[in-house]
Amino acid sequence: MKDFLIATNFIKDNDLLLTSQIEEYLKAKNCTCKKIVGNREGACDEGEVSFTISEDDSFDCAIALGGDGTILQVSRDLRNTDIPIVGVNLGTMGFLTEVEPYQIENVLDRLINDDYKVEDRMNIEGSIIRNESYETDNNTCSDIALNDIVVSRAGFSRVIGLKVYVNGKVMEIYEADGVIVSTPTGSTGYNLSAGGPIVSPKTDIIILTPISPHSLTSKSIVLSSEDEIEIEILKMRKAQKEEAIISFDGQPGVELSPGDRIKVIRSEKTTKMIKLFDVSFYKVLREKIR
In a domain, 258, yes or no: yes
In a domain, 131, yes or no: yes
Whether 106 and 140 map to the same domain: the answer is: no
In a domain, 50, yes or no: yes
In a domain, 254, yes or no: yes
Whether 106 and 136 map to the same domain: the answer is: no
CATH number at 72 reads 3.40.50.10330
Q: Which of 105, 125, 67, 140 is nearest to 271 (CA)?
A: 125
Select the more confidently predicted residue: 159 or 56. Answer: 159
| Total count of domains within the chain | 2
CATH number at 188 reads 2.60.200.30
Q: With beta carbons less than 8 A apart as the criterion, state whether 66 and 86 touch.
A: no
Whether 143 and 261 map to the same domain: the answer is: yes
Whether 82 and 160 map to the same domain: the answer is: no
**Nearby residues of 54 by Cβ (< 8 Å), 6 or more positions away:** none
In a domain, 92, yes or no: yes
Whether 235 and 167 map to the same domain: the answer is: yes
Report, as an integer, the average pLDDT of 257-282.
91
Whether 70 and 187 map to the same domain: the answer is: no
Whether 160 and 28 map to the same domain: the answer is: no
Taking only the tens place, the pLDDT of each residue in 136-176 is 555 568 899 999 999 999 876 678 999 999 999 999 999 99
Select the more confidently predicted residue: 139 or 120. Answer: 120
Whether 212 and 262 map to the same domain: the answer is: yes
In a domain, 109, yes or no: yes
In a domain, 177, yes or no: yes
Catalytic (active site) residue 68: yes
> What is the model's pLDDT at position 46?
36
> What is the model's pLDDT at position 236?
73
> What is the model's pLDDT at position 55?
59
Point out the domain boundary residue: 115, 145, 172. 115
Whether 65 and 132 map to the same domain: the answer is: no
Whether 261 and 197 map to the same domain: the answer is: yes
Whether 110 and 128 map to the same domain: the answer is: no
> What is the model's pLDDT at position 198?
93
User: Of 68, 143, 177, 249, which one is the catalytic site residue?
Assistant: 68
Residue 42, pLDDT above cutoff 50: no
Point out the domain boundary residue: 84, 115, 146. 115
Taking only the tens place, the pLDDT of each residue in 63-110 is 999 988 899 999 998 988 889 999 999 977 778 888 999 999 999 999
φ, ψ (nearest 5 deg) of residue 201:
-65, -10
Whether 87 and 130 map to the same domain: the answer is: no
CB-count exposure of residue 230 (10 Å: 0-12, 13-18, 19+): buried
Q: At what angle do helices 104-112 and 17-28 cross, to 10 degrees?
A: 40
| Mean of pLDDT over the chain | 87
Report, as an integer, the average pLDDT of 191-205.
93
- The residue segments making up the domain with residue 32 are 3-115
0.85 exceeded by pTM: yes
Taking only the tens place, the pLDDT of each residue in 226-249 is 999 999 999 876 655 657 999 999
C-alpha distances in angstroms, 260 versus 135, 145, 254? 11, 20, 12
Q: Which of 251, 172, 247 is nearest to 214 (CA)?
A: 172
In a domain, 274, yes or no: no
> What is the model's pLDDT at position 282?
77
